[in-house]
Amino acid sequence: MQPMPAAKTTVSIDGPKFLINDRPTYEGRDHVEGLLFNVRTVHATFDDTLGKVDWWDDDGSLSGNDHAGYGKWTSPDSASANTRRFIQALAEYRTHGMLAVNLNFQGGHPLNGKPWIVQGHGSAGARPNGHRDFYHNSGFNADGSIDEAYKRRISAVIEACDRLGMVVILQLFYFGQDTVFEDEGQLCSAVDCAVDFICTGGYRNVIVEIANEVMEGHSHHDILKPGRVGELIQRARGRARSWYNRSLLVTTSEAALLGSRQWTPEQIDAVFEACDLIVTHGGDNIETGKVGDASDLVQKVEYLRSRPWFKDTPRPIVTSEAHGQRAFDALLRQGVSFGLHSTCFQTMYPPRWGIWDNETTWFFERVKALTGCD
C-alpha cells in the first residue's frame, strides 16, 4: 500500500477537548467547542464473502425496506459499490456538523433490526462461532493479516475523510466475527497489522478503538474482555511509538459498564485509565423512564469522572452508539460528544447513506444548528 499524500487532517486531544489540526473542534461555538459529533456507520465497508445467505439482497421489493433497491449482493462488487455510496455521502454528513464516522474491520451487527431472521436473535457471543456460520465479514484473515479488498475500502474512507477534515474512529474487533482467530497470538498479530496499516499509510485522522462493546459474554477471546483488553490498548499504542515514533490515540468501548456481574471497579479503572479517550454506549430508556439526566449514559459519565485517575488526567468522553433526544441534551450539558446509533445506520440492506427523512433527522438538524455548519 502506498502512503497517501501528506495528511490534511490530524486529530489530537488537549485535556477533555478534541483538536483537529491543533485547533479545538467547532472553535468558538458555545457548548460544543472541543466535541466530536459522530455517526455509527460500521457497515460502510461491509462484505459477505461466505455467500451462503441472501439477507443482503435488495431488489426494491422487500417489505418494510425504504432503502434504495441495489439488487443482489455479490461479493466483492456489491461491497465496493456500498463503500462508494458511503464516500459520496460524506460531504453531506460534514455539512451537518459530523466530524467523525465509525468503521470496524469486522463490521457490526447487520441483522440488527431484522427480527424475522432468527439467526440474529440472542448474543453472538453465545454462539460457538459467533455469526460466522451465516456470513463472513472480517477485514482480518485468520493469521491476523489484513484482507486486501477490505484494506482498500477502509483506506478509501479514511482518505476521503482526511480530505474533508473528518476523523475515523476505527474499531478493530466485533464479537460476531472475532472467531476468525483461533488463538490470542493471531488476534495480537491483527492489532500489530492494524497499527502498521495506519502508520505506514500516513493516516493522522484515525482513532483506534480496540473492540466494540467490551463486556463479559460478548467476545469469544478472553483478551477482548474487561479483565484483559487493556493489554491490547497498550500493545497498539506501544507499537506506534516504538516502531513508528508516533503518538496514536487508542481506546475501547464499553457495554453494561455499571451492570452487575460485568465490569468490576478495578477493571474499569485499569482499562479506562489506559485509554486516551473514553467511549461509552447507551441512551434514553423510555420503558424504564431512565431518560435525559437519569439515563444510563449520564450515570456512566458521572461515575467515570469521579475516579481519581480521571480527576488527575481529564480526557474526552465520546459516545459512538447513543440514542434519544433527551439523552442528547443531557450529554450536551455534560460536555460529552454524542454519536448516533440508529437502525438506519446499523441494518444492512445495504444501507442508504446520507441525510434522508427517517427517525434520525432531529440529530443532524440539531448538530448543524449547534455547530453552525453549512
Q: What is the pLDDT of residue 66?
A: 56
pLDDT digits (tens, 9 = 90+) for 166-175: 999 999 999 9
Reduce the secondary structure of the chain to three states and give it as a string.
CCCCCCCCCCEEEECCEEEECCEECCCCCCCCCCCCCEEECHHHHCCCCCCCCCCCCECCCCCCCCCCCCECCCCCHHHHHHHHHHHHHHHHHHHCCCCEEEEECCCCCCCCCCCCCHHHCCCHHHCCCCCCCCCCCCCECCCCCECHHHHHHHHHHHHHHHHHCCEEEEEEECCCCHHHCCCHHHHHHHHHHHHHHHHHCCCCCEEEEEECCECCCCCCCHHHCCCCHHHHHHHHHHHHHHHHCCCCCEECEECCCCCCCCCCHHHHHHHHHCCCCEEEEEECECCCCECHHHCHHHHHHHHHHHCHHHHHCCCCEEEEEEECHHHHHHHHHHCCECEECCHHHHCCCCCCCCCCCCCCHHHHHHHHHHHCCC
User: pLDDT value at position 6?
Assistant: 87
Residue 374 has a pLDDT of 61
CATH H-level superfamily of 11-371: Glycosidases (3.20.20.80)
Q: What is the pLDDT of residue 226?
A: 97
Positions of the chain with pLDDT lower than 50, given as ranges: none
pTM strictly above 0.75: yes
Domain residues of the chain, as ranges?
11-371
pLDDT in tens, 294-351: 999 999 999 999 999 999 999 999 999 999 999 999 999 999 999 999 988 887 777 8
